[in-house]
Each structure stands twice: as C-alpha cells, then as structure tokens.
Structure 1
Amino acid sequence: MPHTDSTRWTVLLPVKPFALGKSRLAIWAGASRAEWARAFYLDTLDAISHTPLVRQVIVVTADSEAHVLAARAGAKVADDTPVRGLNAAVHRGAAHAAISATAGPVAVLTADLPALRSEELMRVLTDARHHPRAFLTDHTGSGTTILTASTPRMLLPRFEGASRTQHAVTGAHELIIANVPGARLDVDTPMDLGAALSLGVGPYSTALRSNMRELPLTSRVCQTSGSGP
C-alpha cells in the first residue's frame, strides 16, 4: 500500500550549535568535538532523509552552518534563537510543523545518532504509528532518542535528564523493538563513540574517523530492558 501524506512522518531534528555540542567528548576530541557534532548531525539527517516513511524533515537550530547544511539536504529549517534547550527547540519545531495542514504524525530524533540506519527508523516509525505518543529508550536505559506523536501538539517533550521516566509518566508508550541499536545509540562520550564505530557509522563520521590518530575506547552497546534479544 502506498504511503500518503497523512501516513508519512514529519521529523523534527533539534540541533545545538556545533560549538556548544558534545562537551563530554572534549576529554578525548579536544577542539575537534565541534566537527564530531557536525558529523553526527549530518549522518543522522542522512539516515532520516533516506527513510521512505518520512515526508519532510524540519531542522530546528540557531547554528547558521546547520541551517545551510539542512537546506542542501532538502530539509526545512526552524530558527531556534535564542537557544533555550532541547525541549524548547522541540516546541518550536512542533509549532512550525503544525502550520502544515498535512503534517501527519510527527517524530523527534536527537541529532547524535551516527550509527542510525534508515531501516531501523522505518521499524520504529511503523510501530509508533499504533500509539498516540511513543518513545524509544536510549542505550543507557535512562534517556530517549526518539519521541513520536500523532500530531505536533501532542509531543509533550521531556528530554534531558531521566527522560525515559518522564516520557512514561506523561503517558507515552515505550516502544519495545529488537535489533535497532543505531536508533538507540546517542553519542555523548568517547565510549559511546567507540560503540558507534563498532556498529558502523555514516559517511560523515567515517570520514572523520579516517583522520583520527587513536580510536576511543570501545564498549558493548548496552541493551535496555525494552531492546529485545
């Protein structure tokens, strides 16, 4: 059955200014952490853009370079000035999406999923379509990488901190999907990056990897209670 605009997704991709992003990578990456933040964003955007269930992508950012890169990729842009955090950015993106009468269901992805595969996102969105609100827990078991809702106004984001608990408390359904490690692996630390590299990252992070003198410590991708076998 072909997908129509009412069944295809609008994806919001909030992006912190690259110069402010990935502070926990600094212990290993130093000044190049901004380059890694840019690469993670581009790999995440690339995976989203190649997902057939996605109708449009709205990048929410105050970073001028991220604006330009989004436009080159065919994404729309919502300005996130002044920067007030991830939840505020999601609200701005949701307001932008709500303007469209054919917005359909909406998903928010964190912009640090360099190992995300389009087929993983397809599985997540297919399952999420059965729930008014839903979320995917990250590899640590306490955070959230994807939040979905039937309409933009229903998102009610509770990112930052123990967002798995916060999204559950607000009535969102926790998605139980096996074998989507790239969709769960948001990269914040050198060990996260090592795990992502072990899974296989997108072309932008791969290009940066080729210039690295030393790889970060690898770690097993943690399986949360909802990740399946």
Structure 2
Amino acid sequence: MLAPMTQRMHRRWVAVVPVKSPSLGKSRLAGPRAGDRRALALAFALDTLDAIRATPGIAEAVVVTSDDEVAHLAQQRECRVLPDVGGLNPSLIAAAGRFTGMVVAVCADLPALRPDDLADALAQVRDGESAYVADHLGSGTTTYAAPAGGFEPSFGPDSARVHESAGAVALAGDLTTLRRDVDTAGDLEELAALGLLGRHTTGVWADRRGAGDAETAGPFRDPPSR
C-alpha cells in the first residue's frame, strides 16, 4: 500500500489559472510604459502556464479569461479555456464546478514558477482539505487548492488571513518560486537579478534592456513614494 504522501503525489489535479486581459493587468508596474506592461503581463501568464503544464500530477490546465489573445495562446498549450463570468473568485468557483476531484487555482503573475515548487505544494495537500500558499510578503495568496465540491477561494486584500480564517491550511516550505508573484517593478527587478525569470518574461526583459533610447532603456523602477 502506498504511504499517504506518495498517494497524494500520485493524485491528478485540475489547475485553474485566471488571466486578465494583458491590457488591464499589472497596473502597479508603474515604471514600464503601457505597452511594456501589456507585454510583461502576457509573458508572466505564459511562463506561469508553461510551468503548470510541466508539473507532475497536473492532469488538465484551465485558463479563465475574457481576452481573445490569451485564449488563443492557452489553446496552443492544450489548455481548456473558460469565460470570466464576472469577478475573480466567482469565475474560479464556476470553473471548478465543472470538475470533480482536486482543483488548484494558481495566480498568473508567477514568472519565476518552477514545476518542482508547485508539485511540492500539491503533495502537502491532504485529501478533502483546502489549502493555500501565501505570497512572499505573507499577506496575499498565490495558490489555493481544495476539492471541487468545496472550492471557495477568497483572493483579494489580506487573502492569506481570509483563507486561514475559513479553515484552509497554510502550506509550508520555501516554495520560493510559487510565492514570488510580481506586483511592482521592484519585484520584477529582484527576480531578474536572481536569474529566476521564465523564458517569456526574460525575452521581454531583454528587449526592454536592449532598447536604444534613453527614455526606454533603463531598468524598470517604481516611482518614488510621495
């Protein structure tokens, strides 16, 4: 008989990834111009999806979006595409309701994500429980997992506390690349300096750093606080 941890490692998961239109996403990346922000938001999502698709135990990846370009690129990666029904959490719940078994929601702004970190997190989730991965600041949530029938994510402000209050288990361990979402230019600079960015984001970064004119060439920076 398989040990409990080994049994959990052999479960098959459905991963649900909500992706905003890249034109609307990453508004807090204040340093880059609008066109750069759009390219970065799309690159973040593609790096996240590629890592999810390469994670052992993920049987199906589902992208929830209202953006035609995102939908097309997701389908190229053999992901199912479902519509945004209005609001992040309601859309995730509606998507999870189409499945049975275990479902994990993963934010689409994890350009450093590595399959091993996601697999390690999923292996910790016990049958029938809900669990979450807090971001590197400890206040937000990058990942929420639960049985499809009890899938009730609460992404939003202070979501780590909200998930814990609802009975979800905080997953332990470094899980470094699963915790490092990118909200600000400083987040992006730090991951680039560590050499952790995925290939799509690295490509956008390289294009930006290689731009010739002074206005666009430097690194991304957040504006000074006032």
| Fold match (TM-score > 0.5) | yes
Deviation string 1:143-180 (CA, Å, 9 cap, x unpaired) is 0000001x2131211101000010001100011112x2
Deviation string 1:29-48 (CA, Å, 9 cap, x unpaired) is 43321111100000000000
CA contact (8 A) 1:138 1:184 kept: yes
1:175 paired residue among 171, 189, 200? 171
CA spacing shift, 1:93–1:196, aligned 2, 3 Å: farther
Q: Bigger radius of gyration, 1 or 2?
A: 2
Return the offset for 1:193.
0.7
Aligned-residue identity in percent: 37
CA contact (8 A) 2:30 2:221 kept: no
CA spacing shift, 1:142–1:70, aligned 2, 3 Å: same
CA spacing shift, 1:131–1:217, aligned 2, 3 Å: farther
CA contact (8 A) 1:60 1:92 kept: no
Q: How does 1:1-229 map to 2 (within 5 A)?
A: 7-81=11-85, 84-96=86-98, 98=99, 103-129=100-126, 132-149=129-146, 151-178=147-174, 180-199=175-194, 200-212=196-208, 213-216=217-220
Instruction: Specify every segment of 5 or more residues in structure 1 that has no aligned partner in the other structure, as ranges.
Output: 219-229
RMSD of equivalent CA atoms:
2.2
**CA distance in structure 1 between the partners assigned to 2:191 and 2:60 by the alignment:** 26
CA contact (8 A) 1:115 1:197 kept: no
Return the offset for 1:94.
1.1
Secondary structure of 1:147 counterpart: strand
Instruction: Specify every segment of 5 or more residues in structure 2 that has no aligned partner in the other structure, as ranges.
Output: 209-216
Equivalent residues, number: 209
Aligned to 2:211: none
- The TM-score with structure 1 as length reference comes to 0.85
CA contact (8 A) 2:136 2:179 kept: yes
Return the offset for 1:3.
7.9
- 4+ residue runs over 6 A deviation: 1-4
Secondary structure of 1:136 counterpart: strand
